[in-house]
A and B are shown apart, each in its own frame.
Chain A
Amino acid sequence: MTPATWPRPEPREDRLLRIDPAAGTWRDARLGDLPAELRAGDLLVVNDAATLPASLRGRGPEGQDLELRLAGLAGHGEWWAVLFGAGDWRTRTEDRPAPPRLARGDRIAIGPDLNALVRRVDASSSRLVALAFDRAGATLWAALYRHGRPVQYSHLRAPLQLWHVQTGYAARPWAVELPSAGRALTADMRRALAERGVRFASLTHAAGLSSTGDPALDTRLPLPERFEIPPRTAAAAAEARARGSRVVAVGTTAVRAMEGQAARHQGRLVAGGGITDLVLDAAYRPRVVEGLLTGLHEPGTSHFELLQAFAPPELLRAAHAHAEAAGYLAHEFGDSSLVLRG
């Protein structure tokens, strides 16, 4: 599928592939049709994580040029990061030269005001390391925003600015890549949905990296990710289910947060935070989420696996083939799909 190479100005005109798992059908629509595809009382649950400038250039202990991409918090004030060799996002991730092999205790110099110390190296991929920065609190955030750039990939045509990778309701900067399904929800769209009677709730999920350049490491994606479900969101989901309304996740990260939390609490979505390693696939039966608004996902990706928890693989494959032939656009600035019964 052709990737969208840049954010498009009018999301309402973006295409929406409406997939109904119960009827076994799909049809073409526009994002502007989303309010009509939902019912009064439906609960849209969004991921309100802001996106960090998670790509940092640095020098290894022997001056080696490298890029590190933050992947998420590792606990104890440490961060997981994936290392890349010389070059930048313009080179396909899988074509990037391997990073220098770093060891515990090595220092990565990022700027005069920021260094990272390697605390751990993953046992099976030397590209995955746990780092500790030599700054904390406000000075660490200032340095990260000063030196970091948005993580991006070679299908884009120009360097992204931080405002390109934020949703319209972002708060805490937990995500290292844009929770992109939320781009559909402009203020105007949220207002139209609210007028339809659709309700909103938010959670925060630390959306991680979607590609590492290391095939073995890629098979482990998504890595465990941090999330937080506020009490009002848990209550809103319970109320929606009690009145027979649907809980619809905006994005795969919102699915993972809700189902990850439910999996830890006997299928109930209780308020709270944690780290989830849940990976959804065809064998997984969702406990809370009835469907999702998401992008277009290629068969063979972890996102496509996740979709199979909501719709049969044959239907998803056929719908995807149709979308490809019909010129839908893929990736974070691409078109959307709504996978939902009824």
Chain B
Amino acid sequence: MRMRGRAAMVTGGSRGLGAALGRALAAEGARVALVARGGIDLERTVREIRTRGGEAHALIGDVGDKEQVHFLAGAAAALVGPVDLLVHNASTLGRTPLRLLLDTDCEDLERVLAVNLVGPFRLTKVVAGSMALRGEGLVVHVTSDAGVNAYPRWGAYGVSKAALDHLGRIWAAELEATGVRFLTVDPGEMDTRMHAEAMPEADPRGLADPAAVAERMVAMIRSSETIANGARLAS
């Protein structure tokens, strides 16, 4: 998908990979709506993009909250136009330090699923109908190898990402004939706040720069028509 003049919506857009994706998409000429719960980092990212001549808007909201989905989708469409690219990047680890499943509260698992799985489902549900009617659109799920490999202490997060991977495949199958495409991307280990919270002992020098990962993801988005619909890729 060529991004010039397109409307993009990125969740978890205040920091890390989401902010880097926002900058990279705006640099490609996309009009970008960035969603995040917190205001200050989000506003800073939007200001940075605008300073460089890009178009970005800050939507403060929680993708895990059912009450906010029509605000997020409606405001994004009002500000940047009917959404062509939706990137589900927001996610939560749940409680940190990460816990063994036997020590994980049911409510913590529910909250992780609400943000990492149900939130993306709801937002796609509200956005993809319009994409299908227009005959094109791209939805990207940001996943993790914790959704494939059973790492101890990553239970809530890993389960949510495994389910998200499958959600992407089923969306792709159901909307196959409509022109709406789905990609699931594992960005690998990056030097982000989320990674530091999950693995505080890790040496950040060994981790990828989110900006470099975002560049590779934008390249995938650009050539997404050549990638199998519903595919899961490593970035």
Residues of chain A having any CB pair with chain B under 8 Å? 46, 48, 50, 52, 137-138, 141-142, 145-146, 162-163, 166-173, 187, 190, 194, 200-202, 230, 232
CB of B75 within 8 A of chain A? yes
Q: Kindly report which residue of chain B lies nearest to residue A48, judged by CB atoms.
A: B130
Name 24 interchain pairs, CB-CB below 8 A, sorted by A: A46-B133, A48-B133, A138-B58, A141-B59, A141-B74, A142-B60, A142-B75, A163-B69, A168-B129, A169-B129, A169-B132, A170-B129, A171-B77, A172-B74, A172-B81, A173-B74, A173-B77, A173-B78, A190-B132, A190-B133, A201-B133, A202-B130, A202-B133, A202-B134
Q: How far is the CA of A167 from the CA of B69 in the complex (A)?
A: 14
Report yes or no: B133 in contact with A172, Cβ–Cβ below 8 A.
no
Give B91 Cβ to nearest chain A Cβ, in Å: 22
List, in ascending order, chain A residues with CB within 8 A of B81's CB: 172
Q: How far is the CA of A230 from the CA of B130 in the complex (A)?
A: 13
Report yes or no: A142 in contact with B59, Cβ–Cβ below 8 A.
yes
Report yes or no: A138 in contact with B75, Cβ–Cβ below 8 A.
yes
Q: How far is the CA of A190 from the CA of B68 in the complex (A)?
A: 26
Q: Kindly report which residue of chain A lies nearest to residue B177, judged by CB atoms.
A: A194
Q: How far is the CA of A57 from the CA of B178 in the complex (A)?
A: 41
Q: Which 3 A-B pairs give the minimum distances between C-beta atoms?
A: A145-B71, A141-B75, A171-B82
Report yes or no: B75 in contact with A172, Cβ–Cβ below 8 A.
no
What 1/0 mask marks residues of chain B from 132 to 160 whose CB sits below 8 Å from any chain A CB? 11110000000000000000000000000
Report yes or no: A145 in contact with B70, Cβ–Cβ below 8 A.
yes
Q: How far is the CA of A277 from the CA of B53 in the complex (A)?
A: 38
Give A177 Cβ to nearest chain B Cβ, in Å: 15
List, in ascending order, chain B residues with CB within 8 A of A48's CB: 82, 130, 133
Report yes or no: B77 in contact with A137, Cβ–Cβ below 8 A.
no
Q: Kindly report which residue of chain A lies nearest to residue B135, judged by CB atoms.
A: A232
Give B155 Cβ to nearest chain A Cβ, in Å: 31
B contacts with A, residue count (CB < 8 A):
27
Q: How far is the CA of A141 from the CA of B57 in the complex (A)?
A: 11
Report yes or no: A138 in contact with B79, Cβ–Cβ below 8 A.
yes
List, in ascending order, chain A residues with CB within 8 A of B68's CB: 145
CB of B220 within 8 A of chain A? no
List, in ascending order, chain B residues with CB within 8 A of A173's CB: 74-75, 77-78
Residue in B61, B70, B78, B82 whose CB lies within 8 Å of A162: B70
Q: Kindly report which residue of chain A lies nearest to residue B56, judged by CB atoms.
A: A138
Query: Beyond A137-B79, A141-B75, A142-B71, is A169–B60 a contact (Cβ under 8 Å)?
Result: no
Q: How far is the CA of A239 from the CA of B61 in the complex (A)?
A: 43
Q: How far is the CA of A271 from the CA of B221 in the complex (A)?
A: 29
CB of B83 within 8 A of chain A? yes
Which residues of B from 18 to 70 have beta carbons under 8 Å from A?
33, 57-61, 68-70
Residue in A52, A167, A230 whose CB lies within 8 Å of B74: A52
List, in ascending order, chain B residues with CB within 8 A of A201's CB: 133
Q: How far is the CA of A230 from the CA of B81 in the complex (A)?
A: 12
Q: How far is the CA of A137 from the CA of B46 in the complex (A)?
A: 13
Residue in A50, A142, A172, A190 whose CB lies within 8 Å of B70: A50
Q: Kindly report which residue of chain A lies nearest to residue B134, judged by CB atoms.
A: A202
List, in ascending order, chain B residues with CB within 8 A of A171's CB: 77, 82-83, 130
CB of B162 within 8 A of chain A? no
Report yes or no: B133 in contact with A187, Cβ–Cβ below 8 A.
no
Query: Beyond A138-B57, A141-B75, A170-B130, is A163–B82 a contact (Cβ under 8 Å)?
Result: no
Q: How far is the CA of A51 from the CA of B83 in the complex (A)?
A: 16
Q: How far is the CA of A281 from the CA of B199 in the complex (A)?
A: 69
CB of B3 within 8 A of chain A? no
CB of B109 within 8 A of chain A? no
List, in ascending order, chain B residues with CB within 8 A of A232's CB: 134-135
Extra A-B contacts (4), CB below 8 Å, given A163-B70, A202-B134: A145-B68, A162-B70, A170-B74, A172-B77
Give A192 Cβ to nearest chain B Cβ, in Å: 13
Which residues of B from 111 to 135 have beta carbons under 8 Å from A?
126, 129-130, 132-135
Q: How far is the CA of A137 from the CA of B132 in the complex (A)?
A: 27
CB of B98 within 8 A of chain A? no
CB of B73 within 8 A of chain A? yes
Give A47 Cβ to nearest chain B Cβ, in Å: 11
List, in ascending order, chain A residues with CB within 8 A of B60's CB: 142
Give B85 Cβ to nearest chain A Cβ, in Å: 14
Q: Kindly report which residue of chain B lies nearest to residue A172, judged by CB atoms.
A: B77
Report yes or no: A50 in contact with B73, Cβ–Cβ below 8 A.
yes
List, in ascending order, chain B residues with CB within 8 A of A167's CB: 129
Q: How far is the CA of A336 from the CA of B75 in the complex (A)?
A: 30
Give A180 Cβ to nearest chain B Cβ, in Å: 16
Give B129 Cβ to nearest chain A Cβ, in Å: 4
Which has the most chain A C-beta neighbours within 10 Å: B58, B70, B130? B70
Q: How far is the CA of A173 from the CA of B79 in the complex (A)?
A: 10
Report yes or no: B133 in contact with A200, Cβ–Cβ below 8 A.
yes
List, in ascending order, chain B residues with CB within 8 A of A230's CB: 134
